[in-house]
Structure 1
Amino acid sequence: MKYTLFKKLHQQPDLLVLGNVWDAHSAKIAQEAGFKALGTSSHAIANAMGYEDGEQISVDEILFVVERIVKAVDIPVSVDFESGYSDKPEEVAKNVKKLVGLGVVGINLEDGQVENGKRVLGDMNLHKQKIEAIKAEEKNIFINARVDSYTTKHISALTESITRTKAYAKAGAEGIFVPLIESEEDIKAFLDATSLPLNVFLTPNLPSVQQLNKLGVKRLSHGAKMYEWLIKQNTKAFEDFIKKPQLPK
């Protein structure tokens, strides 16, 4: 089954490079390019549907897009599910159950939230309760718990990330995502403190893939970065077209 395959992809010697997609078309392209698994980008999906990032889109709209993505490909699909679109653990679990019903094998579940356009670090115990509720409802879902200590510039980002990771692992998380952890020193210290496969986010300051493999990182994702790059190209093409109507070469 795809859930088992997805778990195994986090246990191989080389890290899993995840293709982050936002619709059925981008999913098909990513599969044809050779990606072994896909992850949706909540930011890209929200923007493509006319919303800002930060749980502005409805769960029903997410389910619609995710269903089209899952049906378009044969490889495992994980969903970036922000913080679950509810502060009630039982509601989050119900939402995730709907994703599993569509064929989704994994989720990112973050402990940060966007408030007034700014990302803030959420309550660790509430996040732990959400993970526990999901696992009580659905066993065959790979929970990649996202820790936002670095993205929110916590004064003790490494220590706080380790503390939260231990709590989430105990609750049932099978992977851990720490966006913006970048230095080899921090990555090594983090990996020494947990046995969960670590997912890092691609940035210009991140060590090379070869070095990440040596350190023991198991997953690499790029979020909305590919989508944002394409939108810049699209913007320029439209701006050029309105000045001189001709198809781009």
Structure 2
Amino acid sequence: MSYTKFSKLHHQNDLLLLGNVWDAQSAKIAESTGFKALGSSSHAIANSLGYADGEQMPVDELLFIVERIVKSVKIPVSVDFESGYSDDPDQVAKYVKQLVELGVAGINLEDGKVVKSTRTLGKATLLSDKIAAIKALTKNIFINARTDTYTTKHENALEETLKRAQIYDQAGADGFFVPLAETKVDIEKIVNSTRLPLNLFLTDKLPKAAVLSEIGVKRLSHGAKIYEYLVAENTKLFHDFLIHPKLPK
């Protein structure tokens, strides 16, 4: 079962490096290079379909892409499901059940929301209700509860993060994701405050992977960074081709 296999990867000694992909081709490439698990990037998928990030694409279109990704690889796939595409916990649970039926092993589910291009921090109770509703409907899904305390620059980011870790753990979360927590001091405090395996987002300011593994971080992801790099390279290629039409080497 992909859920069981995926869950075990978060409790091994080695740091789980998650390959973030956006379509079947990128998923197959990541698998071929040796990644043990993949995670979709909602940002990359949305942009590749012509939508802005922040739950702007229809759920059905996301489900189509997810199905193609899952069917193209043999390793576990987790889906960045943003804040669940609904504020109704029962509706979110129904959507997640569809993901499970497609063979998805896990999801990221966040307490932040993009409103008019600005990410805002939502209530912890809403995310905890969504987590509980999902687990009541289907238990075979790894829920990585993401908190946006740091991405929204909460005035007491660490303290609020520690509070939310306990709330999401009690609701039934399987993992805890804290993007932009970057200092070793803060990371160690988060790790030591919860039994949930901690997932961090790769940035230039983050301690090296070996250090993160040593202090107890269990998962590291890169989001849309590879996709964004490739888009930038594509832009240069198209620009150069327009000026000097020739095949790239």
Give the TM-score band, short-chain normalised. over 0.9
Structure 2: give runs of 5+ residues left out of the alignment. none
Does 1:217 pair with 2:221?
Answer: no
Q: Where does 1:6-25 land on structure 2 (aligned, <5 Å)?
A: 6-25=6-25
1:8 match: secondary structure: helix
1:168-211 Cα deviation digits (max 9, x unpaired): 00000000000000000000111111111000000000000110
The aligned counterpart of 2:108 is: 108
The aligned counterpart of 2:48 is: 48
The aligned counterpart of 1:232 is: 232
The aligned counterpart of 1:208 is: 208
The aligned counterpart of 1:195 is: 195
Given residue 216 of structure 1, which amino acid in structure 2 is its aligned partner? G
1:113 match: secondary structure: strand
How far the C-alpha of 1:123 sits from its partner, in A, is 1.2
The aligned counterpart of 2:3 is: 3
Structure 1: give runs of 5+ residues left out of the alignment. none
Query: What is the TM-score when the length of structure 1 is the normalising length?
Result: 0.99
How far the C-alpha of 1:241 sits from its partner, in A, is 0.2
How far the C-alpha of 1:2 sits from its partner, in A, is 1.2
Does 1:155 pair with 2:145?
Answer: no
1:104-146 Cα deviation digits (max 9, x unpaired): 0100000000011100001111111000000000100000000
Percent identity for Structure 1 against Structure 2: 64
* Distance across 1 between alignment mates of 2:103 and 2:191: 31
* Distance across 2 between alignment mates of 1:133 and 1:222: 28
1:11-54 Cα deviation digits (max 9, x unpaired): 01111000000000000000000000000000000000000000
Given residue 5 of structure 2, which amino acid in structure 1 is its aligned partner? L
* Distance across 1 between alignment mates of 2:123 and 2:58: 22
Given residue 217 of structure 2, which amino acid in structure 1 is its aligned partner? V
1:54-85 Cα deviation digits (max 9, x unpaired): 00001000000000000000000000000000
* Distance across 1 between alignment mates of 2:17 and 2:139: 24
How far the C-alpha of 1:218 sits from its partner, in A, is 0.1
The aligned counterpart of 2:171 is: 171
Aligned length in residues? 249
Instruction: List, as ranges, runs of 4+ consecutive aligned residues in structure 1 with deviation greater than 2 Å.
Output: none
* Distance across 2 between alignment mates of 1:101 and 1:189: 37
Q: Where does 1:116-155 land on structure 2 (aligned, <5 Å)?
A: 116-155=116-155
Q: CA RMSD in A?
A: 0.4
1:84-118 Cα deviation digits (max 9, x unpaired): 00000000000000000000010000000001110
* Distance across 2 between alignment mates of 1:17 and 1:210: 12
* Distance across 2 between alignment mates of 1:210 and 1:75: 24
* Distance across 2 between alignment mates of 1:50 and 1:230: 16
* Distance across 1 between alignment mates of 2:196 and 2:132: 16
The aligned counterpart of 1:89 is: 89
